Chain A
Amino acid sequence: MNAIDFNLPALIVIVPLFGGLLSVLIGTLFGPRRDLSWGFAVLVAWTTLALVVRLVAAVVDSASGAVVYNLGSWPGPWGIEYRVDYLNAFVLLVVSGIGAATIFYGRHSVDDEIPKDRSHIFYGVWLLCLTGLLGITVTGDTFNIYVLLEITSLTSYALIAMGKDRDRRALLASLRYLILGSIGASFILLGIGYLLMLTGTLNMADMHTTLMALPNLAENRTVQVAFAFLLVGLSLKMALFPLHMWLPGAYTHAPSAISAFLASTATKVGVYMAFRFLYTIFGRHYSIDVLPGHLVLLGCAAFAIVIPNISAIRQTEVKRLLAFSSAGQIGYMVMGFSLANEAGMTGSIVHLFNHAAMKGGMFLAIGAVIYRLGSGRVEDLKGLGMRMPWTMAAFSLGGLGLIGFPMTAGFISKWYLIKGCLQAGYWPLAVLVLFASLLAVIYVWKLLERIWFMEPDESTAHVAEAPPTMLISTWALILTSIYFGVHADFTVGMAQKAAAYLLQVTP
């Protein structure tokens, strides 16, 4: 085994980390040259993606289904352990793939929205945000999760606030996100603190073993407090209804490429953390059988797939509509893993991937509209199918995916989700999922009708098709979602193995 393969889990964090710092350095040394900053960021993001692909291959090949890496060769539970199994390999693929696509997309969009002398810093912060997200996903140490979560959060506050030149409300949205995000992270920190107090360890696997060995686990109030703090903190971070109110503003006013990046990665990593805390640390036995934690989550998820989707219908700004729809889609993922059966969890994990591809593609397409048109209101889409056919075709395919149209990726995830609901005996939830899809039909149709069936205004006669870098990224994500809607073997296979692993590892 060569040095790169051996150190893969560490490299996927180190490469974007130093890439981000170097990006600022290069910009300072050679002056703020946009294409240089962009080219360097693309290089780093694509290298990271290549490393992640190798790591995923290594996980699939490994006999135990997990790759373990000890930082500085200190063995866990004393040292910090990186542990990559099917679940985080899959999430890593999503995060680094979206990162590579959105940074490539950024060439024109960032030029347009960010002041010239800041672009190298902007890309640097972006790469740091990617570092944080990958780090949370790869680590097997709870305190590491907190620190990397804060790196992600701090950088995303800064990135969102950079939308201020287009709309000053970005500043308010960013501050709102900062306050709620910090409270969420503080709750997670407290939850970890209570677990540390009880178990004396920070390593996830070790924590689980120690917790299970507690004589009066079911009545232990410290564990209950830790569970409650973590549940609230994680719900804030993944924007689960009713704690989703920071999300629409943040995604609407952020620079376009950042909206796409955060919408398809940040909340997904939140969902991933919930998986880890519920199934790896507390374990299925505790969080499902002892404490009915999943019932709370199921209740929130049931509201989450209905209420934000209704709000989405009323929106007049496309990005805000998509953001509300994202808050609704989080409901599907949470519902899937709260069902605690294999079909539901498979649906949840697959949807994490599918939604990232579809929604990322849609945000990128609307970013291209904003680049050409200067605004992204629902009214502005009128007749754009004539002016920007390629962009709008991608946007429409993503919209069909959101509804869960057959042959799109959204159909696959909803299929498994409904199967999971029925297996668990919650048939009203299955009906609710179908009802929520109808809501999606309404808001997607509202957009499609304007794009394809209305005559374009004279005022948009100058509008041309989006530049090639934008089109390539948008179509890459949309085609991914279509491809895995038709050939779902890879995604569903990974998700099923991840679900089985989580349900079996935890007695």
Chain B
Amino acid sequence: MSFLGSFAGTYNYAIYIVLMMVGFYGVIAKKNLIKQALGLGLFATGIFLYYISIGVYKGGTAPVWTIIDEVGVLKNPGPYDNPLSHVLILTAIVVSVSTLAVALALIVNIQRAYGTIEEDEIRAIEAGEHPEEEEVA
């Protein structure tokens, strides 16, 4: 298969990698703690896309979908998507939302304790207070 052809079949995997890396960049490079938390959220979103993609069957339908023809007979709707990975990712979405909530709660507390949510400013404050120790964050 040509490169373009294989890309057409797997582009959602490419997007998942890109999304994850954009999020990862945010976590590593941004100094603002809120932006880091958002990066973490984006990172997780990439994984959601991956899990949803692996359950998809070409031409498949939802597993609850049934077709009743004009005389009222239940017809086989054909192949359906694998619901397992979709169900799993519902759980992972809940987990990711909770993680983000805990992160934001921590950031609110950091703002109260330090008066800033910029990582370099916090480091400067800590370096002034505990000069003999290596930095925490």
- A→B interface (CB under 8 Å): 143, 146-147, 150, 153-154, 157-158, 161, 164, 168-169, 171-176, 178-179, 182-183, 186, 189-190, 193, 196-197, 200, 202, 249, 252-253, 316-317, 320
Contact = CB atoms under 8 A, between A and B. Distances in A.
Interface in B36-62: 36-37, 40, 43-44, 47, 50-51, 54
B36 to A, nearest CB: 6
A175 B33 contact: yes
A157 B102 contact: yes
22 contacts: A147-B91, A157-B102, A161-B106, A164-B109, A169-B126, A171-B109, A171-B113, A172-B126, A173-B137, A175-B106, A175-B107, A178-B102, A178-B103, A178-B106, A179-B36, A179-B37, A182-B40, A183-B43, A189-B47, A193-B47, A193-B54, A197-B54
Contacts of A157: 102, 106
Interface in B6-58: 24, 27, 33, 36-37, 40, 43-44, 47, 50-51, 54
A154 to B, nearest CB: 6
B31 to A, nearest CB: 13
B107 A154 contact: no
Contacts of B126: 169, 172
Contact of A154 (B51, B102, B122, B133): B102
Contacts of B92: 146, 189
Contacts of A197: 54
B113 A168 contact: yes
B85 to A, nearest CB: 6
Interface residues of B, number: 35
A69 B95 CA distance: 26
A249 B136 contact: yes
Interface in B65-124: 82, 84-85, 88, 91-92, 95, 98-99, 102-103, 106-107, 109-110, 113-114, 122
A243 B137 CA distance: 14
Given A157-B102, A171-B110, A175-B110, 11 more contacts: A143-B91, A154-B95, A161-B106, A161-B109, A168-B113, A171-B113, A172-B136, A175-B33, A183-B27, A186-B43, A186-B47
A164 to B, nearest CB: 6
Interface in B121-135: 122, 126, 132-133
A125 to B, nearest CB: 11
B85 A193 contact: yes
A249 B50 contact: no
Contacts of A175: 33, 103, 106-107, 110, 137
A196 B50 CA distance: 12
Contacts of B88: 143, 196
Contacts of A172: 110, 122, 126, 136-137
Contact of A178 (B24, B51, B99): B99
B50 A179 contact: no
Contacts of A252: 136
A169 B136 contact: yes
Contact of A176 (B43, B50, B91, B137): B137
Contacts of B27: 179, 183
Contacts of B43: 182-183, 186
A377 to B, nearest CB: 10
The 7 closest A-B pairs by CB, nearest first: A168-B113, A249-B136, A172-B137, A150-B95, A197-B54, A175-B106, A171-B110
Contacts of B136: 169, 172-173, 176, 249, 252-253
A158 B113 contact: no
B102 A190 contact: no
Contact of B51 (A169, A174, A193): A193
B99 A154 contact: yes
B1 to A, nearest CB: 16
A132 to B, nearest CB: 12
B99 A150 contact: yes
Nearest to A146: B92
B133 A182 contact: no
Contacts of B85: 193, 196
B72 to A, nearest CB: 33
Contacts of A168: 113-114
A143 B33 CA distance: 30
Contacts of B98: 150, 154
A306 B107 CA distance: 34
Given A147-B91, A175-B110, A182-B99, A190 B47 contact: yes
B53 to A, nearest CB: 9
A249 B134 CA distance: 10
A365 to B, nearest CB: 22
Task: Tell which of B24, B107, B109 has the most Cβ of chain A within 10 Å.
Answer: B109
B130 to A, nearest CB: 8
B119 to A, nearest CB: 9
